[in-house]
Amino acid sequence: MSTIKIGIMSFAHMHAFGYAMALKALPDVELTAIHDDDAKRGRAMAKQFGTRFVADQAAFLALDTQAVIITSENARHRGMVEAAAAAGKWILCEKPIAPTVEDAKAIVAACKKARVGLGTAFPCRYAQPLIAAKAQIDAGALGKVYAVTCTNHGQSPGGWFADEALSGGGATMDHTVHVADLLRWMLGKEITKVYCELGNQLHQDTLKTDDLGSVHMELEGGVQVSHIASWSRPKSFHTWGDVTMDFIGEKGVLSVDAFNQKITVFDDKLGRAVWAGWGDSLDDGLVADFVASVRERRDPAITGVDGLRATEVTTAAYKAFRTGRMVKV
């Protein structure tokens, strides 16, 4: 098989690290170069992953790569996608695909126009417990699903995540899209209405954005959903956070705690207990599909439109909070 050459644009989002690891682990794939507007960070990452750092974006896109992974700040996705698409690269874009629906639509349109594949990085679709949960639902174990209760908690990431100009919003922006995408994927239904209470509930001294959104959604057919998007896990918490979904169905209930494959380690040096995960890597599946999509000249399994749909939900959540109403998506 011919080698697929891929570049990474920006390590602003820490997920770039996992994707780089996944690329390095794949046969017939070359991590050709890293571009980063933070040259120091870019050089360090290039060194770590044994590849080249290219400071100039045009020079980076002029390389003979077939694809790029874009892991910059949310607000910088659009500019990078448009440039990469114009250069004919296949694109995997970090979530949320954009902070605004306008940007998300422009991203999808740019890739369509350039006839390049566009994927959104929703690695949760590659989490085995969630895959198994979807299989149960698809097999009819729950019958009709009536309601879902979800969480996507995390610790406060700080940095640009809490700079609205770069992120577009706080925890509600960061931690709604995974679950919005999972709901659409697992139930095969679109999200039609959104309500949200949000605020800076826990980090008033350190953050300017919201750190928590209590989101309610309605899906096609009237499925009732609540979801907590948060950066509420304290520094002393035993792990980074979670993705959980409790499904209430006609024939039964199903609870999935996607990252609850762990051992608990009591560490005297840390002074607390921490989880050590043993589950499969999500990034491997996501990145393998992206590489296959480049090879097969098709869209990745999770498309740019999936990213757009999730962003529509997030922006509806902020609008719902601003207006104090449940709003249509």
Partner 1 sequence: MNVAIIGCGGMGALHAQMAANCGHKIVLCADSVRKAAAALAEKFGAKVSADPLSAVAAKGVDLVAIATPTPTHLPLIEAAAQAGKDIFCEKPFCLNTADCKKAIAAAEKAKVKLFVGHVVRYFHEFEAMRAKAQSGEIGAAGWLKISRGGIFPGAPGSWFRDYAQSGGVTLDCMIHDLDWVRYAFGEPERIFCQTLMRTEPVQLDYSQVTMRMKNGLIATVIGTWAQPSGFRVKAEICCSGGMIQYDSADAPLAVQPRTVAAGPNMIVPMSPVEKSPYQMEWEEFTTWLEGTGTPRVTARDAMAAVAMAEAALKSAKTGQPVAL
Interface residues with partner 1 (CB under 8 A) are: 146-147, 149, 193, 195, 197-199, 201-205, 211-212, 214, 216, 218, 224-226, 228, 230, 232-234, 236-237, 248, 250-253, 324-326
Residues whose CB is less than 8 angstroms from the CB of residue 91 and which lie 6 or more positions away in sequence, other chains included: 67, 68, 69, 70, 81, 84, 85, 111, 116, 117, 118, 119, 304
Return the amino acid letter for 183. L
- Tell me the closest approach of the beta carbon of residue 248 to partner 1, in angstroms: 5
Tokens of 110: 């740019």
Q: Which is nearer to partner 1, 197 or 280 (CB)?
A: 197
- Tell me the closest approach of the beta carbon of residue 197 to partner 1, in angstroms: 5
- Tell me the closest approach of the beta carbon of residue 224 to partner 1, in angstroms: 4
The Cα-based distances of 37 to 24, 60, 73 in angstroms read: 22, 12, 11
CA atoms within 13 A on the CB side of 12: 25
Q: Which is nearer to partner 1, 251 or 298 (CB)?
A: 251
Q: Which is nearer to partner 1, 74 or 230 (CB)?
A: 230
- On whether the CB atoms of residues 279 and 296 are closer than 8 A, the answer is no
> How many Å apart are CA 236 and CA 257, to the nearest integer?
20
Q: Which is nearer to partner 1, 91 or 162 (CB)?
A: 162
> How many Å apart are CA 86 and CA 277, to the nearest integer?
40
- Tell me the closest approach of the beta carbon of residue 217 to partner 1, in angstroms: 9
Q: Which is nearer to partner 1, 42 or 249 (CB)?
A: 249
Q: Which is nearer to partner 1, 68 or 225 (CB)?
A: 225
Q: Residue 96: is the preceding peptide bond cis (ω within 30°)? A: yes
**Max alpha carbon distance in the chain (Å)?**
57
- Tell me the closest approach of the beta carbon of residue 181 to partner 1, in angstroms: 20
- Tell me the closest approach of the beta carbon of residue 81 to partner 1, in angstroms: 34
